[in-house]
Structures are given as C-alpha cells and as structure tokens.
Amino acid sequence: MQIGKRIKELRETHKITLTRLSKDSGVQIATLSRIENGKMTGTLESHMNIARALGVDITRLYHGTTKEPPPPAPTTEESLLESFTYNEKSSYEILANNILRKKMMPIVLRIDPGGATNPEQNKIGSEKFIFVLSGQVKARVADQEFSLSKNKTLYFDASQKHHFENDGKETTKVIVVVTPVAL
C-alpha cells in the first residue's frame, strides 16, 4: 500500500475530513489531496505532522506501506494538468506541469452556483492574483468583501485568511495565480 492510501485509510477511520486534517497538521489541503491520490509522497516532516494530527505514531502511519512505482502516465497534453476538488461545488485545475519547479502557480478555479472554496491562508509572503473569466465571484479577504464580475481583477496578500463564493446563477470561472508555489 502506498503512503497516500494509508493516510486516507487512517483519516477515514478517525472520521476526519481533509479540511480538518489540513488545519490540524499544517499541511496544505492541496498537498494532502495530492498525497492521498498518489500524485506525490510528501516529506518526512509532513508525514510527522499528519501522524501527529491523526493521533498515531509515525511507525503506525508507515505500517504496511511499500514503495510502489507509480503507474505509467499517459503522454497526452491534458495529462500534464492536475485537477483538485475543494468540495462538490468548487474545483481547480493547475495550468502548468512540474509546478514545484515554478515560481508561480497558474490555476483555473471553477465554482458552481451556490458554491464556495474552503477557507485558505497561505504562508507569509504569499500573493494571489485573480481574473474573472466568466460569472461572478465574491472574494472574502480578511475582513473585506469584494464582488467581482467578468474581466475584473483582485490582487492581495494571500497570507490573510480568504475564500471565494459564487452567489450567481452560472458557473464562475476564474484564473488564479499564486506566488510562491504552495501545495
């Protein structure tokens, strides 16, 4: 069993959501999702933080895991992009491959009507830029609220707590650029 499957198994056994595990471990929710889905393995430090948040010893976290080679990846252009689901009404797609080697992370964020992203708070020094491609988005950054429609932009300090909502009637599509890259 790979480490990601083991973490997901323990998380579900303890009835802990991905959002809660992210908050308790300090590991970004996108990183946890990528680990659980076998897209990355994480670091020893992230594994120790995850084990602590799950209330298990690191040896229990590694129990039964093996180093399995990842399955061969298809070579189509679309396979270079990764998708991540916040919840049933919002998701994003990373618009570059080898993202950990980049200085910024371009994303397309989609939010269905009535949907919202989970609250985020990046590390100090992080910045975020958004450009609304279609629909409307309400951006909540710290104690401020910004209502943005098509072709509107917002640039802010991503170390402040923030999230995005769609209270419109159509799916919102937003380009988001984050720097530095944080998964």
**DSSP characters over 144-172:** EEEEE-TT-EEEEETTS-EEEE--SSS-E
Which overall architecture, per CATH, does domain 77-179 show?
Sandwich (2.60)
> What is the structure's pLDDT at 165?
95
Domain regions of the chain by residue span: 3-62, 77-179
Local confidence pLDDT in tens for the 183 residues of the chain = 688 888 999 999 999 998 899 999 999 888 888 888 887 888 888 898 999 999 998 888 888 776 655 554 444 455 455 666 667 788 888 787 776 677 888 889 999 999 999 889 988 999 999 999 999 999 999 999 999 999 999 999 999 999 999 989 999 999 999 988 765
For position 93, what pLDDT does the model report? 82
What are phi and psi for residue 171, nearest 5 degrees? -65, 135
Tokens linked to 167? 């209270």
In 24-115 the beta strands, taken as DSSP E runs, fall at 82-87, 90-94, 105-111
Closest CA to 93 of 5, 4, 174, 180: 174
Let me know if the fold of 3-62 is the same as that of 77-179.
no
Gap between the Cα atoms of 66 and 60, Å rounded? 13
Cα dihedral across residues 147, 171, 174, 31: positive or negative: positive
Q: Domain 3-62 maps to which CATH number in 3.40.50.620, 1.10.260.40, 2.70.150.10, 3.30.1330.40?
A: 1.10.260.40
